[in-house]
Amino acid sequence: MDSSPISRFRCFDPTNSYPTTTPNHTPIPRHRNNYKGTLAISVNSEPKIVSGEAGYVLEDVPHFTDYIPDLPTYPNPLQDNPAYSVVKQYFVNVDDTVAQQIVVAKDSPRGTHFRRAGPRQKVYFESEDVHACIVTCGGLCPGLNTVIREIVCGLYHMYGVHKVLGIEGGYRGFYARNTIPLTPKVVNDVHKRGGTILGSSRGGHDTSKIVDSIQDRGINQVYIIGGDGTQKGASVIFEEIRRRGLKVVVAGIPKTIDNDIPVIDKSFGFDTAVEEAQRAINAAHVESESFENGIGFVKLMGRYSGFIAMYATLASRDVDCCLIPESPFYLEGPGGLFEFIEKRLKEHGHMVIVMAEGAGQELLSESIRANDQQDASGNKLLNDVGLWISQRIKDHFKKPKMAINLKYIDPTYMIRAVPSNASDNVYCTLLAHSAVHGAMAGYTGFTVGPVNGRHAYIPFRRVIETQNKVVITDRMWARLLCSTNQPSFLDHKDVVGDEKEEVPQIQSINGENNLEARATKHREPKDVTEDTREEEPPILLVNGNSHLEAIMANQK
- Residues annotated as catalytic are 258
Q: What is the reported pLDDT for 513?
A: 39
233 marked as part of a ligand binding site: no
What is the tens place of the pLDDT at every residue in 261-305?
999 999 999 999 999 999 999 999 999 999 999 999 999 999 899
d(CA 467, CA 184): 35
Q: Report helix angle 385-396 to 337-348, nearest 10.
A: 70
Which domains, ranges and CATH numbers included, belong to the chain? 49-266+421-464 (3.40.50.450), 270-418 (3.40.50.460)
- 244 has binding-site annotation: no
Q: Is 227 annotated as a binding residue?
A: yes
- 3-state DSSP assignment of residue 407: strand
| 302 is known to lie in a ligand binding site | yes
Query: Is 256 known to sit in a ligand binding site?
Result: yes
Given a contact cutoff of 8 angstroms between Cβ atoms, the answer to whether 162 and 179 are in contact is: no
CA dist., res. 227 & res. 308, Å (int): 16
Question: What does residue 122 show for φ and ψ, rounded to 5 degrees?
Answer: -115, 145
Other C-beta atoms closer than 10 Å to the C-beta of 75 total 10
CB 458 within 8 A of CB 226: no
The verdict on whether residue 258 carries a ligand-binding annotation is: yes
Identify the three-state secondary structure at position 381.
Answer: coil
303 known ligand binder: yes
* Residue 216: CB atoms within 10 Å: 13
DSSP states of 162-219: --EEEETTSTTHHHHS-EEE--TTTTTTGGGSSS-TT---S----HHHHHHHHHHTT-
203 is in an annotated binding site: yes
**Model confidence over 146-181: pLDDT tens digits?**
999 999 999 999 999 999 999 999 999 998 778 999
Q: Which of 450, 123, 100 is nearest to 267 (CA)?
A: 450
**Annotated binding-site residue? 308:** no
What are phi and psi for residue 337, nearest 5 degrees? -65, -40
139 annotated to bind ligand: yes
* Bridge pairing between strands 179-181 and 122-123: unpaired
199-251 confidence digits (pLDDT tens): 998 887 889 999 999 999 999 999 999 998 999 999 999 999 999 999 999 99
Is 415 marked as a binding-site residue? yes
Identity of the amino acid at 3:
S
Angstrom CA distances, 551 to 304, 476, 481, 535, stand at 18, 14, 12, 15
Compute CA distances 253 → 231, 245, 285, 496, whole Å.
8, 23, 36, 50
Q: Which residues of the chain have pLDDT under 50?
A: 1-44, 366-367, 369-370, 492, 494-556
